[in-house]
Amino acid sequence: MAQVLEFKLPDLGEGLTEAEIVRWLVQVGDVVAVDQPVVEVETAKAMVEVPCPYGGVVTARFGEEGTELPVGAPLITVAVGAPASDAEAGAGGSGNVLVGYGTSEAPARRRRVRSTRPEPAVTVAVDGTAPMVPVAPVAAVTPVAPASSAAPAEGPGGPVPVISPLVRRLARENGLDLRELTGSGPEGLILRADVENALRVAVPREEAAQTAQQPSAPSALAGGRRVPLKGVRGAVADKLSRSRREIPDATCWVDADATELMRARTAMNAAGGPKISLLALLARICTAALARFPELNSTVDQAAREVVQFDQVHLGFAAQTARGLVVPVVRDAQARDAEGLTAEFARLTEAGRQGRLTPAELTGGTFTLNNYGVFGVDGSTPIINHPEAAMLGVGRIVPRPWVHEGELAVRQVVQLSLTFDHRVCDGGTAGGFLRHVADCVEQPAVLLRTL
């Protein structure tokens, strides 16, 4: 006889509570090895291949491609050879689940999933060479709703199962009664998407009355389409909306003569060795300015009513990919030189284009550099990447008339903008930071003072 182990969607880290099945990598009846990837999922952070900690025969898959599953929901069941003892059963899986992040120990609960029919659910023939083969129908395996990941939502009618306390809080803050919702998760588990959908369609009675008095929408609008806010697009929408709600931001900007910076980059690249990117030079300027104005390398702890200033600069940079806008993070940017920054920017950009950025590479930033000049625009008032406190925006560098050394000349001019959280500093600090950045752009030799 074989033991059937249920592998659930693991905790993907970084507060992620659900993932969408993009592509199954195994079929029912396939033999899988320990730590073999079995499914590719898309979270709000990245595309991830999920490895299975068990080796054996796949007896069931839960969810079709395109289905969104909550953390803790069953993914697959695997029939493995019956262990001689519970100790061996505990050692049957690798416990790695996700390579590099996620759970680090094997699941605490392992139990045999039995068929509802009188005959055994799965039997496996095992010898020295032959692979394990299921001989009973796999449809008898019944998925089990996750219990440990759901948090009850208290109410007069009894507890309502929700995927996490954050979902309950979202409903409470918006006056939504969870008892009126039908959850789309296993056994009616209420997901965050269920609450958000209910909030989108809920219209106050007074607004409904006003709408009833207004003429109907033009018939041409009937031919439109609805695009779900999910995956990366949904994560971006949630984060930007939260930033606007919570952060009292302000923006200041200045034009700078980048002619000398461009000449310095040309001289660096002419000297041989790896080419230095303009983004790397701007990042080096950012880290130097943040050393002078650490108030902007911070975040606000609203619960403690404190501003937390960071010693390290984890520099995020906005990158447009086929999956949408992502902000990879360069760790310890203040400790990297221009060559190191160039290499790391290139690596993270390529990983973003391939959809292979991990959640760890997309979170934990303390300051963001946004080079929107690549889109051919001069200026912008960017939205702060919550929960950071500031973002530097860089427009395109173009030839413009400029007064240089008392004479009118054509120079390479760029517009720099700083959007900052007014809770962490006043305008004097923000202006001092931006002015220092502009001085370094106009006279790169200023950086020598801090090297």
Q: Which residues are catalytic?
A: 422
Query: 310-346 burial, b for 16+ CB within 10 Å, e for fewer?
Result: beebbbbbbbebebeebbbbbeebbebebebbbebbe
Element (H, E) at 286: helix 278-292
Q: What is the C-alpha to C-alpha distance for residues 284 and 279, in angstroms, rounded to an integer?
A: 9
- Closest Cα partner for 99 from 35, 41, 38? 35
Tell me the two tokens of residue 393: 């925006």
Q: What is the C-alpha to C-alpha distance for residues 157 and 155, in angstroms, rounded to an integer?
A: 5
Q: What is the C-alpha to C-alpha distance for residues 199 and 204, in angstroms, rounded to an integer?
A: 10
CB contact set of 38 (below 8 Å; sequence gap of 6+): 7, 24, 25, 26, 32, 50, 51, 52, 58, 75, 76
Q: What is the C-alpha to C-alpha distance for residues 190 and 209, in angstroms, rounded to an integer?
A: 30
Beta strands in 189-277 (DSSP E): 249-257
Q: What is the C-alpha to C-alpha distance for residues 301 and 304, in angstroms, rounded to an integer?
A: 6
Residues 39 and 51: beta-carbon distance below 8 Å: no
Tell me the two tokens of residue 11: 């905790």
Q: What is the C-alpha to C-alpha distance for residues 108 and 49, in angstroms, rounded to an integer?
A: 22
Residues 148 and 78: beta-carbon distance below 8 Å: no
